[in-house]
Amino acid sequence: MIIDRIQLAGLEAYFQVGAGGVNLGGQNPLTARTKQLGRGKQLEISAIELLIESGNDLTDLFNFNFDTQNNPPTPDPLFSITLMKEMFPALFADPFRHRVHNISGFEDFKRGTMENAKVLDVEGIPTIVSIGTGICTWKSPLYPMPEPINLNHASWELAASTRTPPGNFKYSLKLATFDANQAPFLTFFLANNLDPTKPRKAENCNLKDVGFYQIEFTADVTTTPTTPRLSWSRSRQAIT
């Protein structure tokens, strides 16, 4: 006989802020997420209960204030619940409101221009790898969009571990945007002189009306280990 025990209640069942905080009230809006599911686990949500407590009268929160034309305004919600998906590691977004553009593979990388780098297969993934030490770069071609879009978030992968010593290399990832006529619009640093221990994402970029865009990757490699020295692949932008 095997007996398995799981937790059915307690803090695991609450939306939490910080270390065990369950109070979502306050002067400023707070965002809380459910605990990330482990591998092989599924979560089925059948109901959500909301409890509002206050030492003051809560009636004013539910009243409409009419203007001089007797038109009620559109009030801000007291709370909202949104479905968020971990679309890429540590990057959450509503999958029903976003599209994803993926840059990866030998075709994408070889269409760009490189200096002091080449494309290799690293554990089955096409990867930009530096040749020795020093500065290496890769610049993508211009990617045209069927119509102007908004770029909100980006996530990328490095073949280097997050435990790689910070002094081994620094890298930058630049996103250049253009309008529908290919006129330069705005340049945005997704990563600026970072080491591999830093998070590999950029959120809330809020780049609007982008007709074309271009990615430029630059790395300064200071050491030469026996394994591939610098790798990067799969820059991803969530597009709304």
Residue with token string 């026996």: 226
Position 146 pLDDT exceeds 50? yes
Question: What is the C-alpha to C-alpha distance for residues 107 and 90, in angstroms, rounded to an integer?
Answer: 27
Q: What are the tens digits of pLDDT across the range 201-234?
A: 888 888 899 999 999 999 888 865 433 333 333 3
| Topology (CATH) of 99-239 | Jelly Rolls (2.60.120)
Q: What are the tens digits of pLDDT across the range 14-44?
A: 888 877 778 877 667 677 777 777 777 777 7
β-pair partners for 154: 202, 237
Asked whether the beta carbons of 75 and 63 are under 8 A apart, the reply is no
pLDDT at residue number 209: 92
Position 186 pLDDT exceeds 80? yes
Asked whether the beta carbons of 237 and 166 are under 8 A apart, the reply is no
Q: What are the tens digits of pLDDT across the range 66-79?
A: 666 666 666 667 77
* Residues in Cβ contact with 1 at an 8 Å cutoff, skipping those fewer than 6 apart: none
- Percent of all residues in the chain with a pLDDT value above 70, rounded to a whole number: 81
Domain extent listing, the chain: 99-239
DSSP state, residue 111:
H
Position 162 pLDDT exceeds 70? no
- For 48, list phi and psi in degrees, rounded to 5: -130, 130
| Chain mean pLDDT for the chain | 79
Largest CA-CA distance found in the chain, in angstroms, rounded: 75
DSSP state, residue 13:
G
Question: What is the C-alpha to C-alpha distance for residues 176 and 104, in angstroms, rounded to an integer?
Answer: 18
> For 156-170, what is the mean pLDDT?
75
